[in-house]
Amino acid sequence: MRRRVPRTDALLREPRLAAAVERLGAGLVKTAVREAQQRAREGSVPVELVPETALALLPGSAGGLRPVINATGVLLHTNLGRAPLSAAARQAVAEAAGPTDVELDLTTGVRARRGRSALAALREGVPAAGAAHVVNNGAAALVLAATALAAGREIIVSRGEMVEIGDGFRLPDLLVSTGARLREVGTTNRTAPADYAAAVGPDTGFVLKVHPSNFRITGFTRSAEVVDLAGLGVPVVVDIGSGLLAPHPALPAEPDADTQLRAGAALVTASGDKLLGGPQCGLLLGREDLVAALARHPLARALRVDKLTLAALEATLTGPPTPTALALTADPDLLAARAARLAADLSAAGVDAEPVDSAATVGGGGGPGVTLPSAALSLPEPYAPVLRNGRVPVVGRLEAGRCLLDLRAVPPEDDERLAQAVREARAAVEGRT
Ligand SMILES: *Cc1c(COP(=O)(O)O)cnc(C)c1O
């Protein structure tokens, strides 16, 4: 006679599953237990292996987000959460998770400025900034600037900079939603300093320069530089998008906060989770009086960041180079050597794997048009969905009928996990073909 599938309450008393209830909560463990029982009833799992099966089905954490390996070759992949945090930032987040001194001076016992040390680190990174403020993301930084400085008034912006960032998010719509009016100047391909000058008037809140961060206009083009606009008698706000604080040698065309402020910008807005390599947040850097006005505005409270973000941001700024910075400057020869080694290991395990040259991109609103020489592991196309759905999900990209796992955004210490994921995918792929 067939052995009976163990009951749920008995399984939940099994020591390893009981420990999992402590760690993950009863709901997730029960879901895994029910799935394991179902497999046993269907005969795909032996009855005595139900506890092991349930344990294997448990998620790594109670959070629904699953860590993945980004082998897309897009360094800042929006769908994969943009910049991965450095080990230093992850540790800072873990430490800030409990009660912290985010708004308390421990020496005096008196309330202190929220996030003061993160703001100090930011100002140290941007010497030209008189002050800094942090909000939830780049869009929030723009909303706060537009609301505090131009609600009911005009924002002057070039027609060539009325951009859509992605997923239908259009900057002009966002700005207009604050009650500011947009005064468009110039044309799609050409806008001169004189176009701005002619539009400035008593109703001007500020002049806005937006970095076209995900496209390039080439050919018969012209655009005004900040230095040409700084003398117009109204603040110049520059949305650099990518969050570089200082120039980066690998991305000479990418604007940075310090240079824009030195050129005369009154305020720079940027994202924290793009090229800065930090947590999602929005940076506001610039003139002390303007930053103070923004920070005091009632809307600032609705856009303020939590302690986890402040902790991650500060550790990003003061800690070792971020994963994004390391990926950006990775040596193509070393990437090729890693691809060759992985391909050799996997070929020896019977996988149709070969090392190939590849081209990575910055993505996520940085370095439009820039390609970074890279190296990839090339696998048969059917690996793509299997790898995505594996125990450790790996996201690659399809190119010319092959699944490429680009190594530029994969930290070298993840190579073994990547190889293991491919080995685990092999059985499913071969079963299919
Ligand atoms: C990315 C980007 C934004 C939006 O920033 P979020 O942090 O995604 O809100 C705004 N402007 C530019 C130029 C960008 O590149």
CB 364 within 8 A of CB 74: yes
What CATH number did the domain enclosing 379 receive? Answer: 3.90.1150.180
Task: Using the mean position of ligand 1's atoms as its centre, give its distance from the Cα of residue 419 in Å.
Answer: 34
SS3 content of the chain, % helix, strand, coil (to 5): 40, 20, 40
**Does 315 lie in the same domain as 199?**
yes
Is 1 a residue whose pLDDT tops 70? no
Question: In whole angstroms, what is the distance from residue 268 CA to residue 240 CA?
Answer: 7
- pTM attached to this predicted model: 0.93
- Tens digits of per-residue pLDDT, 240-249? 999 999 999 9
Residue closest by Cα to atom 15 of ligand 1: 241
Question: Is residue 140 in some structural domain?
Answer: yes
**Does 124 lie in the same domain as 53?**
no
What CATH number did the domain enclosing 168 receive? Answer: 3.40.640.10
How many folded domains does the chain comprise? 3
Strand 164-166 to strand 154-158: parallel, antiparallel, or no bridges (unpaired)?
unpaired
**Does 110 lie in the same domain as 172?**
yes
**Does 164 lie in the same domain as 100?**
yes
Question: In whole angstroms, what is the distance from residue 427 CA to residue 83 CA?
Answer: 32
**Does 115 lie in the same domain as 42?**
no
- Tens digits of per-residue pLDDT, 34-90? 999 999 999 999 999 999 999 999 998 998 899 999 999 999 999 999 999 999 999
The closest-lying atom of ligand 1 relative to the alpha carbon of residue 281 is: 7
Question: In whole angstroms, what is the distance from residue 198 CA to residue 232 CA?
Answer: 10
Domain hosting 352: range is 69-81+326-432
Question: Is residue 421 in some structural domain?
Answer: yes
Point out the domain boundary residue: 321, 343, 358.
Answer: 321
Quote the pLDDT of residue 219: 86
**Does 330 lie in the same domain as 287?**
no
Pick from 188, 166, 200: nearest CA to 363? 166
Assign 52 to helix, strand or coil.
Answer: helix
Q: Distance from CA of residue 233 to its chain's centroid? A: 36
**Does 174 lie in the same domain as 231?**
yes
Question: Is residue 3 in some structural domain?
Answer: no
Residue closest by Cα to atom 7 of ligand 1: 138
Question: In whole angstroms, what is the distance from residue 64 CA to residue 80 CA?
Answer: 14
Point out the domain boundary residue: 321, 355, 381.
Answer: 321
**Binding-site residues, ligand 1, Cβ < 6 A:** 137-139, 165, 210-211, 213, 239, 241, 271, 282, 365
**Does 423 lie in the same domain as 281?**
no
Question: Is residue 1 in some structural domain?
Answer: no
Query: pLDDT over 90 for what percent of the chain?
Result: 88
Is 333 a residue whose pLDDT tops 60? yes
Task: Using the mean position of ligand 1's atoms as its centre, give its distance from the Cα of residue 317 in Å.
Answer: 19
The closest-lying atom of ligand 1 relative to the alpha carbon of residue 272 is: 7
Task: Using the mean position of ligand 1's atoms as its centre, give its distance from the Cα of residue 365 in Å.
Answer: 7
**Does 311 lie in the same domain as 340?**
no
Question: Is residue 394 in some structural domain?
Answer: yes
**Does 145 lie in the same domain as 111?**
yes
pLDDT band at 235 (very low <50, low <70, confident <90, very high): very high
Point out the domain boundary residue: 321, 346, 373.
Answer: 321
